[in-house]
Amino acid sequence: MKNRIKKFASLLKETTENIKNDLIVYFNSLDYSKPNKGIQILEIKSENDLDKIIYGNGFYIILTNYPVKINNFILEYNGLKAIYRGHSCRVKKRLYSHLANNEYNSKAKNEKYGTFYKACLKMGEDGINGININQEPYKNWRWSVIVHKMEGSSSLMREQVEKAFDIKYNKPNRSKQ
């Protein structure tokens, strides 16, 4: 039994490494300025714009022109810099938790609505989880999201997307919080 487990663990490690390497090739060939059915790009002018985001599995990037200290991330799109990246099986709810945190948390108290996320985008040094783009100081800045649709993907697969993305672009500093 131990040999089977070791063999399976080795195979899983090799498979995840191969997936990550394939995803690096994918990101190296990707051009966000060209239309792609598998990618959703939205400018978020208010919390209401979050309703347009896909609901299901995906990998997402939050971009802004809000001044962020020490951002080594090199992805820029439409004059905005990426500050956070993540993945979820419910991308819309997850982005709500990051960008409309008060509204999301008030709904998350209802067990039928969904998960209460303990770790969300932190912009200030105060350590507060999540922001509210309809409120000061965030409403004065531009925000966008890029969502890679990943229907049917597992958490393990989406984690490999994060790793490959970080290799291509560096990890956004707000994802390190």
* Total count of domains within the chain: 1
pLDDT digits over 91-147, tens only?
Answer: 999 999 999 998 888 887 776 666 778 788 888 767 788 889 999 999 999 999 999
How far does the chain reach from its first CA to its final CA, in angstroms?
40
Tokens of 172: 């956004």
How high is the pLDDT of residue 123?
84
> Do residues 89 and 114 make contact, with C-beta atoms less than 8 angstroms apart?
no
Say whether 110 sits in a helix, a strand or coil.
coil
Task: Provide the domain limits for residue 28.
Answer: 2-176
φ/ψ region of 73 (left if φ > 0, alpha if ψ in -120 to 50, else beta) reads beta
What percentage of the chain exceeds 90 in pLDDT? 45
3-state SS, one letter per residue, for 34-98: CCCCCEEEEECCCHHHHHHCCCCCEEEEEEECCCCCCCCCCCEECCEEEEEEEEECCHHHHHHHH
Quote the pTM value: 0.88
